[in-house]
Chains A and B, each alone.
Chain A
């Protein structure tokens, strides 16, 4: 079965990203496919490579990057939400005159159409939020 996941909240403040991560791992372990993981609202904050969480706690951003790499996942960060919150890749930096980028590995910035497409193409779309 094809699953997609929508994550509406950023790392640490809400459990949403944690729950989504554990769910994603379980989806893959069961042999299902993950079509896309889409980050919206403050969820885009899961995609900054600049976090330094305490050493004795989980590194939310890094483990998403690692999961994406291991399983070739498509993790998409909504461009409009990213612009509002300062999640920037090379293209966005150039387009909007920013002097830095911060997008973590394994994520790509794209439009809301990717979320709708995920809803259309997947068998199941699960939302994690507040």
Chain B
């Protein structure tokens, strides 16, 4: 499953719910969700605690827009919209955690 999270973890519970419920696969952070992958943040702690259960991605354009592309945590791969498309194609199903 490709799990898409678009809200900051300190604003909404969607990242938490995703981490607790989703079986595995990948998490792609888009829009405000990219804040979840910033170094030294609560989001980083949550993602690290998932311990490799998910492959982690973030949309580069959204990180750059927010001035945080240079402080993404280790273990998160930045992708562009083409990479986003490739991820959707790669996984049989996707779920947007709205």
Contact = CB atoms under 8 A, between A and B. Distances in A.
Interface string A52-94: 0000000000000000000000000000000000000000000
Interface residues of A, number: 21
Interface string A112-130: 0000000000001111111
B96 A126 contact: yes
A29 B98 contact: no
Nearest to A25: B81
Interface of B is mostly: helix
Interface stretch (B17-25, B43-51, B67-75, B84-92): B84-92
B1 interface: no
Interface of B: 4, 6, 30-32, 61, 80-82, 84-86, 88-89, 93-94, 96, 98
Interface of A: 1, 3, 8, 15-16, 19, 22-23, 25-27, 29-30, 32, 124-130
